[in-house]
Structure 1
Amino acid sequence: MGAKRKNLTFLKHRLYMLERRKTDTIVESSVPVDHSSSGTLRRSQSDRTEYSQKLQEKMAPPQAGPSSSITAPQESEEQLNTRMMAKRVKIIAELMQTEKDYLNDLELSIREVVQPLRSKEIGRFDVDGLFSNIESVHQISAKLLSLLEEATADVQPTMQVIGEVFLQIKGPLEDTYKIYCYHHDEAHTMLESYEKDEELKQHLRHCVQSLKKIYEEQGKPNLMDMGSLMIKPIQRVMKYPLLLCELLNSTPASHPDYKALQGALAAVKDINVNINELKRRKDLVLKYKKNDEDESLKEKFSRLNIHSIRKKSKRVTSHLKLLTRGERQVRDQTFNKEEKLFRCLEKTVKFCVKNISLSLQHLQDSMLLAAQSISELQDILHDKSDEENGYSERLSNTGNPCKSFVDQLDKLVLSPLSGLQTLFPGPQKLIQKRYDKLLDYNSSLQRSAGEELDLAKKEYEALNAQLVEELQVFNQAAEQIVVNCLHCFITLLRQTMCTALQLYSSVVVLVPLSSSSISEVQSQVMEEVHKLNFVKDTTTTTTFIERKLSFEKKKPGPSLPESPRQTESHRSKLLSTYGAESLYQAKRKCNATQEFDIDLYEGELVAVVEQKDPFGSTSRWLVDTGILKGYVYSSFLKLYNPAKVQKDVAENSFCDDDFDNISLFVSSRLPNDSSTRNPGHKRSDSSSSSHSQSEKPTINGTGTDSFHDMDDQHTFYAVYAFQARSDQELSLQEYQRVRILQFSDLSGNKEWWLAEAKGQKGYVPANYLGKMTYA
């Protein structure tokens, strides 16, 4: 590492003394000088003055006199202070003059080179990368010059304080020049690549020629090429320690600026050291960041030697000692914290890219299926008349929100995360190399080797400091990117769902279902189906579903206030107000399930105002009961027929004399397999026969009220055997005695009764039961 290690050679003071001499501003002297023989190396005014004074002192003859020996020490001290103050004045003048010339160079560079190149907007030309923060360098130089002028204007030389100026501007000066020096190597490489391109080279040559012309007009033909222009800020920051050192040596110890100059000299030296250290850290990062794939096989073998083998074996030994806690380890808590966060972010980004990609694939499939399902549902829910109203056109114009979602997700989520994922391998390699340098440092600590320990310590601390500084910035940026991507992902999902709902809401008629109305809707649908001719003989399913759902409602919630009953005055009002085609009658009790719904009781008369609800659904009608208006389901209504009102009331009501005259010996009328008789047998077959028997007088010619008490009115016998099909039903044997607890189910359906037999309760079909009469 020692001999081959690269360093920023132009940062060393011994080499910059020559650079300073080359670039110093030429100040005309009263003494004629042979410029033809001086070449490019010319002395500054302060150096020529000092040289002339020393030459005159040597050439001047000594003054004789008896009094000269007595006053010699006192005169010598005064002369020394005078000469030092004279030199100090000249150095301050040189400092300010060279700063003015440097500021003028920066202004010309920005005006004649940077701004014209930037205004041309050449796509392949990176102006900011080539000149970095040269505008900031110009600003800090102008600030320094103004502070120097302020410190020297109208102030006696014995009271001028220059050191405070540099102490005041130390922070901004270091930050500005750090950035410029840090990027100078990349800028120089970029300049070399531009000079190989003929088109870009022409742009650069044109700017340099215009700048040379201005320098020639000002009498300063010292601009060689673009490289000498770009290196000026680096040369200038290296000259500050030299100038302040000369100024300190020319300042008497009793001068008020002496201590301030000492601090200023230390400050500018620290600036140069920090810039040099930053450059060295950058070189280490670039060296270790180089991928193994970039090296050829020959280069890999060239690095394999006894030294590398010995170094790797020491690292293995040190690593084993650390694992067995046999050796103390140098720890950096800040780095450990940032490294842990870095590992977590790496894993998070990796899983986000993987899982979001899979989610996108599944969402695409599901959204296509959902769109297809909506299209098919439209074919079911809408009839042919909707095509005339433009339904098909509206459906085709809705489009597919999936495509926009995929494009936005790729742009706002997947692309940033994938780009971030590619940035993790570089820091990973440096973290591993930092651990190797830590092992070397720990190994050197045990041997207490002087030069080797210093080298291992410097390399470890440089790489560790670089990683700590950059990992903090990287982790903050990566965390912000991940959070923003997740927010975008959630927002896109929500927007896609809302867009899909909005697009299809205009063509989809949603069935208004709720937990309280699901049973009623199911009953209505089944009832409409069973009105068809080819299923009229199998109505048991409908009544079974209604009975089952009613049984599940056996534990009702808190009771609501009962709605007002319809009276004859209300019915008369409806008959006189509306026509016969608008009058309907409730087939059974209807409970309100939604907002604006009303309750109806069986047999109540209503007038239909509108045969649809506000959403366009034809399953809910707006009706007038004579008391109030509201919506009810159309399946609960039937056309009003005045001629059959009395007959329907008689058929739908039960009295104490029902089924009185059914004999115990009616089994001869049963089918051959009575045990498997379908409980859905038509009511007109059994129930009507029961009613016809109940209409005949009893054997003894008296009513049942004179022979049975109230309990006997709830006692029935099974006319047919019945096998229960669920836990809500009750099995019956033929002629089995049962007690009726309720003559309907909870929905008001009177074809199913709640019965009790042998301590068990359940629903049984009403047309399977009859009352016993004795001959």
Structure 2
Amino acid sequence: MEVPRRTQPTAFTLALPKPASSEAEEAKQKAEEEEAAAKERAAHRQLLAIEEMVQSERNYLRLLQVGTVTIRSNLQKLQPPPPNLDSLFLYIEDVIDVSSRLLSLLDQKQVQPGNSLFLQTLCDSFLSLSSDIESSYREYLANYNNVTLVENGYKQKEALWNEIVRVIKTSAPEVNATSLSFFLVMPVQRIARYPLLLQTIQKHTDRSHPAYALLEQTAHTSIALNCRINEYKRFREVADKYKKTETLSIKDKINRLNTHSIAKKTARLSQQIKHETGIKPKLVDEEFDALEGFFYVLEHGILELLENVETYLLHLQGFLTCKTEEFDLDMDGEKAPICYKEITTALRQWILPTFEKRVRTLIHKPLCALCDLLVGPRNLIRKRLDKLLDYELIYDKSSLSYEEQAVANTYRTMNTLLLNELPQFNGLALQMIWSMLGTFSCLHKDLASDMEQLFQSFAQQLPHSSLSPNAFWGWAESAVLEGARRLETLCRSVEDTLKAPVVQPLSPSSRHRLKQLTEKHGSGKIYQVIGAVVGSRDLDLNLAKGELVAIISEADSRGDKRRWLVDAGGRRGYAPSSKLLRYHQPAEEPPPSPHLTLPEDMTAVRRHSYSPEVQPLSVLSQPCFQVFAAYDFTARGNHEVSIRAGEAVRVLEPHDKRGNPEWSLVEARGGQRGYVPSSYLTILPMGTGPAGAHQPYC
């Protein structure tokens, strides 16, 4: 039997507790390792964020250049090119410029993103260009709505849009873009991405970094920049909405009416009445009121200046149309008139046309453009008043609903927009006015110099060139006044001639029609056609010049007073009122006079307007005669005079200015002179007139 062997005891080590100092050191070492690893990870993430910002900026710039240069040039080669193509790329050149400048500043330092100085270079570059970035992006973003409208217009034309897509894919095959908005929306996205990228870099940058404070400032600047761009875009949208002038018909205005708009306009009117009557005070903004008053002063001055310039150019054009050199005035041997003719010819053909062209280019055209610019601020000021009336209704409320808050925001936006933009507009408008007035003065100075040079070449040939300046101006003033007096006399003579009554001679058929129309309508309705009438509408008459018609109605069935309903002796229809003239010849025998009775043995001689030949007056046995009004006559114009039956008159001329014996120029009681029908006068021997008559004219 085998005896089991005794196992040997196993050796073991007794674990003694470690000192506390060694455990703390291990924990500290571990924390330091973790902190170093975290810093390393943060630095790595910071580097990735910086590289992402720089590299994305380079890719962004490259794609913008592809869309703006390559695709745009290829689209312009289409026949015909897409309409409004240039408006799509408006302000994008400024965006490309500021982006390329940012990358250029980074490249100039020749510092890699891994270098600690690169972050400071990036922040300095961004801050130095922040104002340029804001000015370029805000204009592009404010115009982006127009970009979408133009592109949507392209999409409505299928053939054109397919051609545009083909050009885009051919020009940039690596991008796989299918529309222009793929490129044009990039600035909108990029400006909003700057704060995100900078905040990401800031998140992974240690606060002890020397450029941390600068990075924080750059991030805040990018956020503020976006806020200001959005605010500017909102202002522009409000301005574009309210500055437009809509030409609506009455039907369109009625279609726009609804209960909400009627209630809103009624509330505004009520508020306005309360202001005018003093029931409720108006919110006063002294700064805006001063700007508004100055704007209206400028507007009035600009409109007055434009009216004066247009009148000036009209008179100048009237002088240029007077081509005196085309008339042979038989001036052989007369040096002075020939010199004046040559001077006038030179003025009309050379000096004044050049002057007129410069005035239209440098004064009239800019002034018209400035007047067009007044429409936007004027509409905004009017809309601001409407929004102010709406705002006053909710001004005192402690809490506002969503719609009321929108009303308040709209008013504040418009008020802020006008306070910011109106001073700039007023200043630029005033500067333009002063510039145009200065230009106008310089143009006249050049005109005077050219005219002086012209007159010096004729100075020795003119009769009064040897006079002293005072004597010459005295002679010139007297000559001008004398010429003006002669011209005024001539104008009065022509005016008196034109105001003389016009009586067209009548044919036998016209006399028959005159009698027929007079019996039917009365003498006061008889008119004569002064020009051929050709009917162009239904119920229009064709009338020859000189025909007599009777007026039935001085308007057509629609109330148009330019077409009169007339009776042409059986035919009835419409004729233009501008072709009809009142027929002045007495159309019927005057009524018997109750004031004048002739002796049975005395025969009075009368001149009848119907007689083609004027009967000579018979000389009575007595040497003196009396001329009396046989019938009442009421003047119908300034060139006629009213007389009463039995009134003694003095015949100045037995005919009018055209030699027509149907009218006589007489002097009535009180020294009044004018024309009366010759058939209304009678001649009686002295002493046979009615009692109380004037003394006879012998």
| TM-superposed deviation, 1:158 | 9.8
1:431 shift after superposition? 0.9
Match of 1:211 among 156, 171, 185: 171
Query: In structure 2, what is the Cα distance between the partners aligned to 1:363 and 1:118?
Result: 44
Q: Partners in 1 of 2:359 and 2:88 — Cα distance?
A: 36
- The answer as to whether partners of 1:95 and 1:243 remain within 8 angstroms in 2 is yes
Q: Distance in 2 between matches of 1:81 and 1:516?
A: 96
The answer to whether the aligner puts 1:103 opposite 2:61 as a matched pair is: yes
Return the offset for 1:313: 1.4
Q: What is the CA-CA distance between 1:412 and the residue it aligns to?
A: 4.0
Tell me the CA shift for residue 399 of structure 1: 6.7
Q: Which residue of 2 aligns with 1:132?
A: 90
Q: Against the structure 1 CA distance between its residues 89 and 189, is the aligned structure 2 distance closer, same or farther, given a 3 Å change threshold?
A: same
Normalising to structure 1: TM-score of the pair? 0.48
Q: 1:409 to 1:148 in 2, by over 3 A?
A: closer
Give the counterpart of 1:265 among 219, 236, 258. 219
Deviation track 1:163-192 (CA, whole Å, cap 9, x = no partner) reads: 555334322221221122122222232333
Distance 1:165 1:154 in 2: 14
| 2:135 aligned counterpart, secondary structure | helix
Mapped contact 2:66–2:172 kept (Cα < 8 A): no
Residues 69 and 422 (structure 1 numbering): CA distance in 2 closer, same or farther, change over 3 Å?
Answer: same
Deviation at 1:376, TM superposition (A): 6.4
Distance, in Å, in 2 between the alignment partners of 1:114 and 1:480 is: 38
Q: Is the 8 A contact 1:208 1:225 kept in 2?
A: yes
For residues 25-65 of structure 1, give each alpha carbon's deviation from its aligned partner in whole angstroms, at most 9, with x where no partner exists.
xxxxxxxxxxxxxxxxxxxxxxxxxxxxxxxxxxxxxxxxx
Equivalent residue in structure 2 for 1:344, among 280, 289, 297 = 297
Matched, 1:291 2:245: yes
Query: Which structure has the bigger radius of gyration?
Result: 1
Determine helix, strand or coil for the equivalent of 1:510: coil
Deviation at 1:357, TM superposition (A): 3.2
Question: One-letter code of the match for 1:153?
Answer: Q
Moved more, 454-463 or 400-409: 400-409
Which of 378, 388, 398 is residue 428 of structure 1 equivalent to?
A: 378
Relative to structure 2, which stretch is displaced further, 421-430 or 312-321?
312-321
Structure 2 Cα separation of the partners of residues 465 and 164 of structure 1: 32
Counterpart of 1:400 in 2: which secondary structure? Answer: helix
SS in 2 for 1:229: helix
- Within the candidate set 147, 166, 188, 1:234 is matched to 188
The letter for the 1-side match of 2:377 is P
Q: 1:509 to 1:95 in 2, by over 3 A?
A: closer
Which residue of the other structure, out of 84, 94, 112, is the alignment partner of 1:153? Answer: 112
CA distance in 2: counterparts of 1:466 and 1:121, whole angstroms: 43
Cα offset, 1:88, TM superposition = 2.2
Give SS of 1:447's match.
coil
Give the 5 Å matches for 1:620-631.
none
Identify the range of structure 1 (445-454 vs 245-254) with the bigger mean alpha-carbon deviation. 445-454
1:418 corresponds in structure 2 to 368
Equivalent residue, structure 2, for 1:528? none
Q: Map residues 661-700 of structure 1 onto 2, 5 A cutoff.
A: none
Q: TM-score, normalised to structure 2's length?
A: 0.53
Provide the residue aligned with 2:414 in structure 1.
Answer: 463
| Structure 2 CA distance for partners of 1:67 and 1:288, relative to 1, 3 Å | same
1:184 lines up with 2:144 in the alignment: yes
- CA deviation vs aligned residue, 1:250-284 (integer Å, no higher than 9, x gap): 33444444433332222212222222212211221
Distance 1:447 1:91 in 2: 49
Do the aligned partners of 1:112 and 1:210 also contact (CA within 8 Å) in 2?
A: no
Q: Structure 1 residues 315, 82: CA separation in 2 closer, same or farther (over 3 Å shift)?
A: farther
Taking the aligned partners of 2:151 and 2:233, their CA distance within structure 1 comes to 19
Give the AA of the match of 1:290.
Answer: K
Equivalent residues of 1:100, 1:145 under 8 A apart: yes
Question: 2: CA distance between counterparts of 1:223 and 1:515?
Answer: 84
Equivalent position of 2:430 in the other structure:
479
1:566-585 CA deviation, whole Å, 9 max, x = no partner? xxxxxxxxxxxxxxxxxxxx
Partner residue of 1:687?
Answer: none
Q: How many Å separate the matches in 2 of 1:172 and 1:178? A: 10
| 1:176-231 C-alpha deviation (Å, 9 max, x unpaired) | 21122122222232333455668975874464133323x2xxxxx44232110111
Q: Are the aligned partners of 1:285 and 1:430 in contact in 2 as well (CA < 8 Å)?
A: yes
Please tell me whether residue 357 in structure 1 is matched to residue 310 in structure 2. Answer: yes
Give 2:296's aligned amino acid: R
- C-alpha change, 1:378 and 1:80, in structure 2 (3 Å) is same
Aligned pairs (5 A) from 1:224-623? 224-294=178-248, 297=251, 301-302=255-256, 304-306=258-260, 309-310=263-264, 313=267, 316-317=270-271, 320-321=274-275, 324=278, 327=281, 329=283, 331=285, 333=287, 335-363=288-316, 381-382=334-335, 398=346, 400-401=348-349, 405-450=355-400, 455-493=406-444, 506=458, 509-512=462-465, 514=467
Name the residue aligned to 1:170: 130
The one-character-per-residue Cα deviations of 1:722-766 (angstroms, maximum 9, x if unpaired) are xxxxxxxxxxxxxxxxxxxxxxxxxxxxxxxxxxxxxxxxxxxxx
1:85 correspondence with 2:36: no
Whichever residue aligns with residue 174 of structure 1, its letter is E
1:244, CA displacement in angstroms?
A: 2.2
Q: Summarize the Cα distance change of 1:512–1:258 in structure 2 as closer, same or farther, 3 Å threshold.
A: closer
Contact kept, 8 Å, 2:92 with 2:140, in 1: the verdict is: yes
Write the letter of the residue equivalent to 1:462: T
Q: Tell me how far 1:107 sits from its aligned partner.
A: 3.0
Q: Give the corresponding residue for 1:143.
A: 101
For structure 1, which runs of at least 5 residues remain unmatched after alignment?
1-65, 216-220, 523-775
Q: Secondary structure at the match of 1:293?
A: coil
Contact residue 238 and residue 272 of structure 1 kept, 8 A: yes
SS of residue matched to 1:511: coil
Measured after TM superposition, the shift of residue 366 of structure 1 is 6.3
* Aligned partner letter, 2:148: H
Change beyond 3 A, Cα 1:246–1:239: same
In 2, Cα distance between the equivalents of 1:226 and 1:247? 32
1:511 deviates by: 2.8
Task: Let me know the Cα RMSD of the aligned residues.
Answer: 4.7
Contact 2:46–2:204, Cα closer than 8 Å, also in 1: yes
The residue number in structure 2 matching 1:594 is: none
- Deviation, 1:362, is 4.3
Contact 1:152–1:160, Cα closer than 8 Å, also in 2: no
Q: Is the 8 A contact 1:89 1:157 kept in 2?
A: no
How many residues align? The count is 445
For the 8 Å contact 2:169–2:178, the answer to whether it is kept is no
Q: 1:104 to 1:365 in 2, by over 3 A?
A: closer
Query: 1:638 — aligned with what?
Result: none
Instruction: Find the residue that maps to 1:270 and give its secondary structure.
Output: helix
C-alpha displacement of 1:409: 4.1
Aligned to 1:693: none
Shift of 1:126: 4.9
- Cα distance change, pair 206–491 in 1 and its aligned pair in 2 (3 A): farther
Name the CA distance, whole Å, in 1 between partners of 2:182 and 2:46: 30
Aligned partners of 1:173, 1:429: CA distance in 2, in Å?
A: 31
The alpha carbon displacement at 1:469 in A equals 4.2
